[in-house]
Amino acid sequence: MGNLLIKGGKLLAPHNGYFYSELDILLEDGKIKEIGENINAEGIEILRLNGEIVSPGFMDIHTHCYKGKSLIGTEADVLGVQRGSTSIFDAGTSGSLNYEDFKENCIKKSKTHIYTFLNISDWGLNSLCELSDLKEINEDRILKKVEGNRNNILGIKARASASVVGNNGITPIRLGKEISKKAKLPLMVHIGNYQPDIIDVIQLLEKDDIITHSYHGKKNGLLSDDGTLKKETRAAKERGVKFDVGHGSESFSFNTFKLALKNNFKPDFISTDLYHKNMVEPVGSLLNVITKLIACGMTLEECINKVTYDVAKFFNLDNMGQLKRGSQGDLTIFDFKDCNEILKDSYGNKQEIKKKLELKFVVVTGGEDSEVFRFNKE
């Protein structure tokens, strides 16, 4: 299987030069075989659209999709394909001692494509104070696990927040940085409440490391009290540190994001931090997060790049995130429709929404038979 002809959609893939282009897409064996007008193919299933937008499959770089014994892990397909993302990254729910269980019982069994940021703590998020005991950070074990799984482990994860590090301050984050350098992988750092101090965290990070929860509304943030960027934040951006939304239950503020836009401090990546407690409010889905960012001043076109091509390019996923011949045929199909609604951030603050993304279909390719799955969300 894996053959499908999609007609009647409007292609949106800015990197490939598609801006609501009314073209057909032919998938064969799970790859994009052809893009053009009035494509005809005998004996192939046809998905007929009615002007919906067709994008490369959305890629969400911050979720928690490993259940295991984690307190927050949630089924991957519930967070992924059922909410519009064809690829998701698990952001540190597993560590070196339970990664193999994650791989066998989640990664290999899910329709959603899954990649991993490996937690520096042995057991990942089996506890939510996972970096309070430095004995649970084993560099050798992490490096061996990375080396044996480089096709899937694409980054290292550490959480820099008081409830996580306990009395250890910046030390676990420093250890995480040392490990990520040896592993030759980016370090994703969750930022939150003091301690450690955000300035100490920022100064540790180098080109292509990632800060997630960049727009939270807590005091220990990337902006100064006067609403401008801290000089350390600006310096980090200039040296190539990447900044991710990571909405989450407690980590996105409309006010912080709007102030950031005034400082031309836009995210490099857009992600959800989805797990079971925020699947309705305040997060919902990656489409819902994009809707909020657009209401604050971003454009749909730049948001699409930040959840497709920009992710694939950064993580060297060469056959993904684009609409072009030979690319993987993962697609997110949605309406961008007028509405009159109110959405909330992580702190209950409200924002009027005049346009929203509404999921219609997801096409996921892969597996031994390149089977195509479609989820009609009407």
* Spatial separation of the C-alpha atoms in residues 28 and 329, rounded to whole Å: 8
Residue 209: its pLDDT value, please?
Answer: 98
- Give tens-digit pLDDT for 92-103: 999 999 999 999
pLDDT of 276 higher than 70: yes
For the chain, the average pLDDT equals 95
Helix, strand, coil % (nearest 5) of the chain? 30, 30, 45
191: Cβ–Cβ under 8 A, 6 or more apart, which residues?
A: 160, 161, 198, 201, 211, 212, 213, 214, 216, 220, 221, 222
Query: Which CATH number, 2.30.40.10, 1.20.140.10, 3.40.640.10, 3.40.50.1860, labels domain 4-55+324-374?
Result: 2.30.40.10
Q: Which residues of 86-103 are buried (b: 16+ CB within 10 A; e: fewer)?
A: bbbbbbbbbbbbbbeebb
Residue 41: its pLDDT value, please?
Answer: 85
Residue 377: its pLDDT value, please?
Answer: 47
- Give tens-digit pLDDT for 284-321: 999 999 999 999 999 999 999 999 999 999 999 999 99
Residue 3: its pLDDT value, please?
Answer: 87
What are the phi and psi torsion angles at 260 (to 5°)? Answer: -60, -40
Residue 2: its pLDDT value, please?
Answer: 67
Residue 366: its pLDDT value, please?
Answer: 78
- Give tens-digit pLDDT for 100-127: 999 999 999 999 999 999 999 999 999 9
Q: Kind of pairing, strands 24-28 and 4-7? A: antiparallel
Site of tokens 């998701």: 88
pLDDT of 21 higher than 80: yes
27, 79, 148, 326, 361 from 305: Cα distances, Å: 21, 20, 31, 19, 19
- Give tens-digit pLDDT for 313-368: 999 999 999 999 999 999 999 999 999 999 999 999 999 999 999 999 999 987 44
Superfamily of chain region 57-314? Metal-dependent hydrolases (3.20.20.140)
> Out of 42-46, 201-205, 229-233, which region has the weakest mean confidence (pLDDT)?
42-46
Residues of the chain above pLDDT 70, percent:
96
Residue 63, SS3 per DSSP: strand
* 205 and 239 Cβ atoms separated by less than 8 Å: no
Residue 265: its pLDDT value, please?
Answer: 98
Give residue 372's pLDDT band: very low, low, confident or very high (50, 70, 90): low
Give residue 369's pLDDT band: very low, low, confident or very high (50, 70, 90): very low
Domain boundaries, the chain: 4-55+324-374, 57-314
DSSP code, position 140: H
Q: Kind of pairing, strands 24-28 and 85-91? A: unpaired
